[in-house]
Structure 1
Amino acid sequence: MNPDIDVQGRRGEWPVPGDNAADRARKIAHMYRARLRALDADACDQADQVAANFGETWVTPTVVTVEDTDAVTTAEAAQLVNVSEDVIRQWACTPHPHNPDEPLLPRFGWRGKARTYLARHVRDAAGTVSQAKHRKAQLTRSS
């Protein structure tokens, strides 16, 4: 619940242009969850449990305690920035837009059989992709 975002000057315009349909749906779901929690915490806990039983753990907020210098697996990286593991793998094979000789997400090493990345690099890659989506959305709107 953010009063600055809840009220928009132009009807129907989403406040974060780079968000895709899933991003928007999750933000709306989080808004509903926050309002339900404010009105009835027990009902919110029950709804959270139902979502968790179906494997939808993204609904409930979690505290992330991953330092920038931590090595994270592909699965952990995906969870860290709320994308799929396939997206993490794609980022590792995509040239960085500002330095084409470097990957968007550099690989770091291995933890057993799992590929690892530095958490800072994962966050940086997510930020780069988000900024690119935002720029593209702005260009589309101004055309």
Structure 2
Amino acid sequence: MTPDYDKQTNPRWPNWLDNPTQRARAVARMYRAHLHAHAPHLAEQADQTATQFGETWMLEREQPVDPDQELTTTEAAALVNVTPQRIREWACLDRRDDPDRKVLPRFGKRGRETVYLAGQVLEAAALVRRHNTGR
């Protein structure tokens, strides 16, 4: 058996844009939900142990992203799990299908920070991933 964890994309996974960490966390949440349904005290014990080691991601609930939400470069990078430098590169990169548009248009400024729209950040990440995977 060859695990698919290390593959950047997995065509069998429901959301092929999810990276290996996102897929692993989704599987872990599924196991956690089943454990919580059948043995809540054991699930609570496991949550407490993980929390003691600083691992709280499984306790967090993913919030839907408002596509019109304004994000700084750092916030945009965290949204799509890339570096802030990568966000800046996307903002300077021309689209292949429309050279007059950037991969990630800048929305404006918040003080000294450049601001992007969350929906456009997600769209840029999907565009880059499609390009990198040849889709």
Measured after TM superposition, the shift of residue 128 of structure 1 is: 0.5
- Consecutive unaligned residues in structure 2, runs of 5 or more: 36-41
Q: What TM-score, normalized by structure 2, do the two folds share?
A: 0.68
Name the structure where strand makes up a greater proportion of residues: 1
- Contact kept? 1:78, 1:85, Cα under 8 Å: yes
- What is the CA–CA distance in structure 2 between the aligned matches of 1:47 and 1:83, rounded to whole Å? 29
- Aligned alpha-carbon RMSD (Å): 3.1
Give runs of ≥4 in structure 1 deviating > 3 Å.
11-15, 17-20, 56-61
Query: What is aligned with 2:100?
Result: 101
Query: What is aligned with 1:131?
Result: 130
Q: What percentage of residue pairs aligned between the two structures are identical? A: 31
Aligned pair count reads 121
- What is the CA–CA distance in structure 1 between the aligned matches of 2:71 and 2:94, rounded to whole Å? 21
Q: Which amino acid aligns with 1:30?
A: A
Query: What is aligned with 1:141?
Result: none
- Contact kept? 1:77, 1:119, Cα under 8 Å: yes
- What is the CA–CA distance in structure 2 between the aligned matches of 1:85 and 1:59, rounded to whole Å? 26
1:60-139, aligned counterparts within 5 Å?
60-64=60-64, 66-135=65-134
Q: What TM-score, normalized by structure 1, do the two folds share?
A: 0.65
Q: Which amino acid aligns with 2:68?
A: T
Relative CO higher for 1 or 2, CA cutoff 8 Å, sep ≥ 6? 1
Q: What SS is found at the alignment partner of 2:99?
A: strand
- Consecutive unaligned residues in structure 1, runs of 5 or more: 1-10, 137-143
